[in-house]
Structure 1
Amino acid sequence: MRVPDRPTRKRSTPARRPHPVDEVLPVGKLAIYGVQHVLAFYAGAVIVPILLAGAIGLSERELIHLINADLFTCGIASIIQSVGFWKVGVRLPLLQGVTFTAVSPMIAIALAAGGGTDGLLVIYGSVIVAGLFTFLIAPWFSKLIRFFPPVVTGTVITIIGLALLPVAALDAVGGGSNPDPTHGRYLAYALGTLAVIVVIQRVFRGFAATVAVLIGLVLGTAVAWLLGDVSFSSVGDSSWFGVTTPFYFGWPQFAGAAIVSMIVVMLITAVETTGDVFATGEIVDKRVGKEDVARALRADGLATTIGGVLNSFPYTCFAENVGLVRLTRVKSRHVVAAAGVFMIVIGLIPKAGAVVASIPHPVLGGAALAMFATVAVVGVQTLSRVDFHDHRNVVIVGTSLGLAMFVTAQPDVAKALPGWAQIIFGSGITLGSITAILLNVVFHHVGRGPAIAGAPGEPTLRLNAINRMGRDEFVAAFGRLFQGPTDVVGRAYDRKPFADTGALRTAFQEALFSAPREEQEALMAAYPDLGGDPLDDDSLADQECAGLTRLADADRDEFASLAAAYRERFGIPLIVCVREHPDRAAILAEGLRRLGNSPAQEHAAALIEIAKVANRRFETLVAEANPIAAARAASFGTSAR
């Protein structure tokens, strides 16, 4: 008897789970997490229109409109960046806000145009053009990243923080319309607000720490209200609902110098956005490429253009919210989109803007002192990665900071110049930034500047020239990557032609690790002892960076003792890529730790250190060796708003 065939059940393919970035959370969670982003962002979002309004002489009603327009446009910009469409928006949990970089240039632009709403119209004209410029150059910007190494971005971020501190100080003593440095209550409000922020940062962790500025503003305003120094009468006079209309203050005015100044601002924020995109990509575990950077910059440009139309200002990614993503581990970009919706709603309620506009100037000044000084610290942190034993970098940073502080301390010097130059020289941030960018090009990209400190006259090598080299020329040029024998370099030459600088770097690494053991040991033996007499200019430059050429007698004896113990155990000098260690103590600790390794393990460790040293020299010697990584290192986790 034939058993009938069982019907074949089609095996269902399990649905592929979306990446956490693309996951749509339940409505309740979206709302809670979205509000949290708004709270962490709110103080930074509204401070730019408040500072600008006070500096250029706008009325309280005009300030309320600016705050509502700012929040409304922040919401639109955040949705564009996080949700995206076509080739616009990076589709990561990145929240958009008005960049602090633009504050000083916008104040200078407005005051040069007479201040008030007349100045606003010139600002909006420059913002619209700069936004369109950013949108159009987005695909090509990655090719320019090599012009923004840490020496430039660190200088610019430091200048931003330092140049804005006088603005905060003016608010702390009563504001531009009524400053009184001798007023005891003003000082109490400013220092009290600053103290609250510091205490919260010290005592609390997590979410409370992210809203320390907001809590400081609320408590400071509450105390001032109890003492009769705050009036909320404008809140009662404001309507519950209001829509910001395009060109509310009038048709924008276009001035060439103002446009140039704002384009410089957008170029600087483009570097900042690039760093934020890479940082967020790592936090949410999603690979970021050049197209993602282009999408993010197009969103910045579009949002900035919309801001000029809807009575707001230039937009960029806010690193404060990048930190919140790391803290909460909530990676969904739809959370930021929900925050954008909340901001649009708040922007439609003029009463909310009136509440913010009632914050006393001294309270605002105390909070601004904390925020702007932190920006300067981020710049100093970035500059810590710069090789200041290379005198060119000292000149770049020193000249840029000097000019920026000169103009900040004496803003009237701009009046001695023609009108077209007054906007640039009227802003320490703009002048300092342009100076840093131009000096970096002059010292590091034009002519035959030295490729490595201590090796004068050597040009920076470019890939097309490298591929045309003969073997002897190639070995002569790249022999400096390693000490002693050049067999490794010759073996790398056999892999020509190189498609890009990454392929060239890989060729050296593979040639090193695939070399016969005898050749590797001969290479190791050629490296100098740490703290001893270096063999050539390149090892001198390496050890200078860690201060090993300026050791005291006791320190020199300690390094000599370690070197002797290491040679006795392993038969080779101790090799450490000293540029990757913060100080001499860390280098000593590393050497002592490695004394406990087995000979086989230490052979491998020494090869890795040789590769690290070669990589460092490679990035200095070869143009465009790693432009994306350089820009990323300069902006990672920073913000200069």
Structure 2
Amino acid sequence: MRGSTTRRPHPVDEMLPVGKLAVYGFQHVLAFYAGAVIVPILLAGAIGLSERDLIHLINADLFTCGIASIIQSVGFWKIGVRLPLLQGVTFTAVSPMIAIGLAAGGGTDGLLVIYGAVIVAGLVTFFIAPVFGKLIRFFPPVVTGSVITIIGIALLPVAALDAVGGGSDPQPTDPRNLAYALGTLAVIVLIQRVFRGFMATVAVLIGLVLGTLVAWLLADAHFDSVADSDWFGVTTPFWFGWPQFSLAAIISMIVVMLITAVETTGDVFATGEIVDKRVGSEDVARALRADGLATTIGGVFNSFPYTCFAENVGLVRLTRVKSRYVVAAAGVIMILIGLVPKAGAIVAGIPHPVLGGAALAMFATVAVVGFQTLSRVDFHDHRNVVIVASSIGLALFVTVQPDVAKAVPEWAQIIFGSGITLGSITAILLNIVFHHIGKDFGPAVAGAPGEPTVRLDQVNKMSREEFVETFGRLFQGDSPIVARAYDRRPFTDINALRAAFQEALFAAPDTEQRALMQAYPDLGCDAVADGTTGEDSRRDQASAGLIHLDEESRTEFARLASAYRERFGIPLIVCVRDAAGREALLHEGLRRLENSPTQEHAAALIEIAKIANHRFSDLVAEANPIMTARTRAFGTH
């Protein structure tokens, strides 16, 4: 009998039993539900739609979310990434859609212009998907971080309006509104603090449910429309009427889809890592085609632009359930819920203050994600400071003063009427101007005021001798470490240059490392105070007051230095700028006397690297007048 082996499918392609598919799929729906319905709720309140219209929007949204999720996870032809990625309406589109709707007169008239822009933007996304990989270089962290931060901040006023009553009748002085909003927010925070896992992922949903229940018990939540709604209803194409097309609205929505394409790309790569499946450019193209197709379907079936939901990416990591058919099952469940108008009527009955409390948490979280993205940006490069500051500043300007849109021609009012759109376009254009047009000189990395500034492109062209002369002060004495860092050229940015010095230090032979350690002065010694060991050593130790010691303190430091040298044969090296004061330095030195020679060798290298980092930052700050002024103002230089 011939033996045979059956190749087990990748966990992503594993078909689970129907029961597990249903349970895991419903869990995805729960984690997703609050985020899914909040977009139509916010839009309806902002452009003045009726409760009947809102109910239909919610059902249409859930119905189309289900279709979009099945397209993305199951896929066909070259559409759909075939990963466990659940699709939902992007928050990026909320503010631009509100601006589009209000500019078109609000109500269903505004909604028809929104749908026209959504349909066209979806088609554009579908057809540019194959070439988007070539555009990614125009969306580095400085752009995406700015945009995501702007999205979160620009949406907070919408959440705040809901928190005080929302719509056309806000009541900021009503204590009940404040109690509902803050109470809902407190529940969400409490759940996040107390629980982990699945409960934490549905904290927003629980907050909405509890807040609404309390409001209902106090007669502040009404669900009269539930009884009047049908048990079954199908959303039909163009239910609100034929879409209307406005060029400015279309441009605004295309910008939104370009931004969400960047988010989708990140989600695809993140999910690929979670499920251990390699992701390539064709996978990204498949995902973006699915986004574009789903967005166009959304415009036809009375819904909005679609993208991958990051919340559900986190749920895949949390549960370790990697099957894409779980997301497909969630899509089926959402389609079924979308066919029940009574479910939409229940959601439409959530009081504005309760919704506002939950939205405050969600939108602020979006801003935090933007902060995290911006943390990867090199802000020593002042061009990046200009990009972020200008884009966020303009976004907040038109968000806080929306009437300024009336000062520009009608075709530009869509752009100036949305902080997200204006801020995003500003970030994209400034990034192109500063980083892609003309000669890229790179950031300034060295040069004191009154001296020629050394820029990154000049560093990459330096001879070894020039490089050592420019950066030799990072390490004490005449060390070959800097010359070793030179071999790591070219440097793409300041962080790469900084890393080159660190890597050269730790990769050096023990003999070089030992010789370098011997060059560092003792803490609090007279040679540092009188400047014999160099200005950098004096600056380092002055930060802890070690150049003005009294006799007793000088004796204590001298005794410690002698004991340390006797035990390890090298001076006690500590990054003084990171220390908490003289007593902390003495305590640290006495503690380290108990270590082994091998451990102290490693500890000394780490301290030298910290000292070099501070000296490198001094060089960069001195080369950038604005940074120098800022650090001096805050006493950090």
Fold-level similarity (TM above 0.5): yes
Deviation at 1:571, TM superposition (A): 6.9
Alignment match, 1:211: 202
**Per-residue deviation, residues 243-268 of structure 1 (Å, max 9, x unmatched):** 11122222222211111111111122
In the other structure, the counterpart of 1:450 is 442
Residue correspondence of structure 1 range 195-594 to structure 2 within 5 A: 195-446=186-437, 447-454=439-446, 551-553=543-545
Q: In the superposition, relative to structure 1, how do residues 251 and 478 fare at CA in structure 2: closer, same or farther (>3 Å)?
A: farther
**1:443 Cα deviation after fit:** 2.9
Distance in 2 separating the partners of 1:181 and 1:229: 16
1:10 maps to 2:34: no
Query: Of residues 89, 95, 108 in structure 2, which corresponds to 1:117?
Result: 108
CA distance in 2, matches of 1:273, 1:380: 18
Distance 1:380-1:488 versus aligned 2 partners, 3 A rule: closer
Residue in structure 2 matching 1:98, options 89, 106, 120: 89
Distance 1:418 1:229 in 2: 43
Aligned equivalents of 2:250 and 2:471: distance in 1? 45
Aligned to 1:127: 118
Q: What is the distance in 2 between the residues matched to 1:551 and 1:157?
A: 38
- The CA distance in 1 between the partners of 2:288 and 2:517, in whole Å, is 46
Aligned AA (1:236): A
Question: Residue 37 of structure 1: CA displacement?
Answer: 0.5
Q: Which moved more, 1:412-421 or 1:257-266?
A: 257-266
CA–CA separation in structure 2 for the residues paired with 1:567 and 1:84? 68
State the partner residue of 2:177: 186
Change (3 A) 1:283 1:239: same
Higher relative contact order (CA 8 A, sep 6+): 1
**Greater shift after overlay, 321-330 or 336-345?**
321-330
Question: For the Cα contact (< 8 Å) 2:162–2:355, is it kept in 1?
Answer: yes
The letter of the residue matching 1:188 is A
1:171-219 C-alpha deviation (Å, 9 max, x unpaired): 1111122212222222222222222212222222221111111111112
Aligned length: 578
Equivalent residues of 1:448, 1:460 under 8 A apart:
no
Further displaced range: 189-198 or 357-366:
189-198
Q: 1:167 aligns with which of 158, 175, 183?
A: 158
Secondary structure of the 2:292 match is: helix
1:399 is displaced (CA, Å) by 2.0
Deviation string 1:313-344 (CA, Å, 9 cap, x unpaired) is 11111111111112211111111111011001
2:136 is aligned with what amino acid?
I
Structure 1 197/492 Cα, relative in aligned 2: closer, same or farther at 3 Å?
A: closer
Alpha-carbon distance, 1:374 to partner: 1.6
Q: Distance in 2 between matches of 1:550 and 1:313?
A: 60
- Aligned counterpart, 1:75: 66
Cα displacement (A) at 1:36: 0.5
How has the CA–CA distance of structure 1 residues 491 and 77 changed in structure 2, closer, same or farther, with 3 Å as cutoff? same
Instruction: Look up the SS of the partner of 2:307 in the other structure.
Output: strand
Shift of 1:112: 0.7
Is the Cα–Cα contact under 8 Å of residues 449 and 460 in structure 1 kept in the other structure? yes
Deviations 1:577-603 (A, max 9, x none): x9xxxx889xx9999999968769968
Per the TM alignment, residue 458 of structure 1 is displaced from its structure 2 partner at its CA by 6.6
| 1:114 CA displacement | 0.8
Match for 1:47: what amino acid? Answer: I
Is the partner of 2:105 in helix, strand or coil?
Answer: coil
Give the partner amino acid of 1:55: A
Task: Name the residue aligned to 2:57.
Answer: 66
Question: Taking structure 1 as reference, are residues 573 and 149 closer, same or farther at Cα in structure 2, changes over 3 Å only?
Answer: farther
Aligned partners of 1:88 and 1:357: how far apart in 2? Answer: 33
The 8 Å contact of residues 200 and 208 in structure 1, kept in 2 or not, is answered as yes
Match of 1:499 in 2: none
Q: What is the CA–CA distance in structure 1 between the aligned matches of 2:542 and 2:125, rounded to whole Å?
A: 47
- Please give the alpha-carbon distance, in whole angstroms, between the structure 1 residues aligned to 2:432 and 2:520: 33
- Give the deviation of 1:155 after TM superposition: 2.0
Q: Which moved more, 1:365-374 or 1:98-107?
A: 365-374
Task: Classify 1:134/1:519 alpha carbon distance in 2 versus 1 (closer, same or farther; 3 Å).
Answer: farther
Q: Which runs of 5+ in 1 are unaligned?
A: 1-8, 497-506, 534-539, 618-641
Structure 2 residue 52 is matched with structure 1 residue 53: no
Give the number of the structure whose alpha-carbon radius of gyration is greater: 2
Alpha carbons 2:467, 2:483 under 8 Å: kept: no
Cα distance, 1:161–1:513 mapped onto 2, change above 3 Å: closer
Note the alpha carbon deviations across 1:59-97, whole angstroms, 9 max, x for none: 111111111111111111111111122222222111111
Q: 1:168 to 1:527 in 2, by over 3 A?
A: farther
Deviations 1:453-479 (A, max 9, x none): 4478777769xxx9xx9xx87998999
Partner residue, 1:536: none
Moved more, 483-492 or 160-169: 483-492
Contact 1:479 1:489 in 2 (8 A): no
The change in CA–CA distance for 1:125 and 1:490 in structure 2 (over 3 A counts) is same
What is the Cα-based RMSD across aligned positions, in Å?
4.6
State the AA in 2 paired with 1:10: R
Structure 1 counterpart of 2:4, one-letter code? S
2:20 is the counterpart of 1:35: no
Counterpart amino acid of 1:62? D
SS in 2 for 1:182: coil
Out of 4, 7, 10, which is 1:19 matched to?
A: 10
Cα distance change, pair 605–37 in 1 and its aligned pair in 2 (3 A) = farther
Deviations 1:123-144 (A, max 9, x none): 1111112112222222332333
Residue 628 of structure 2 corresponds to none
Aligned partner of 1:503 in structure 2 is none
Percent identity between the two aligned chains = 75
2:131 to 140, 143, 157: 140
Structure 2, unpaired ranges of 5+: 491-499, 530-535, 617-637
Counterpart amino acid of residue 176 in structure 2: R
Pick which of 34-43 and 284-293 moved more.
Answer: 284-293
Shift of 1:480: 8.4
Output the CA distance in 1 between the equivalents of 2:274 and 2:471.
Answer: 34
Shift of 1:529: 12
In the TM superposition, residue 556 of structure 1 has moved relative to its aligned partner by: 12
2:381 touches 2:442 (CA, 8 Å); kept in 1?
no
Q: In terms of mean alpha carbon deviation, does 418-427 or 252-261 score higher?
A: 252-261
Shift of 1:145: 2.6
C-alpha distance in 2 between matches for 1:478 and 1:308: 61
Is the partner of 1:245 in helix, strand or coil?
Answer: coil
Q: Deviations over 1:27-79 (max 9, x none)?
A: 10010000010011000000000000010011111111111111111111111
8 Å Cα contact 1:594-1:602 kept in structure 2:
no
Compute the displacement of 1:345 (Å).
0.8
Q: Distance in 1 between matches of 2:192 and 2:425?
A: 35
Say whether the 8 Å CA contact 1:575–1:606 is kept in structure 2.
no
**Residue 570 to residue 132, structure 1, CA distance change in 2 (3 Å):** farther
Q: Tell me if structure 1 keeps the 8 A contact 2:446–2:470.
A: no
Q: Structure 1 residues 526 and 101 mapped into 2: Cα distance closer, same or farther (>3 Å)? A: farther
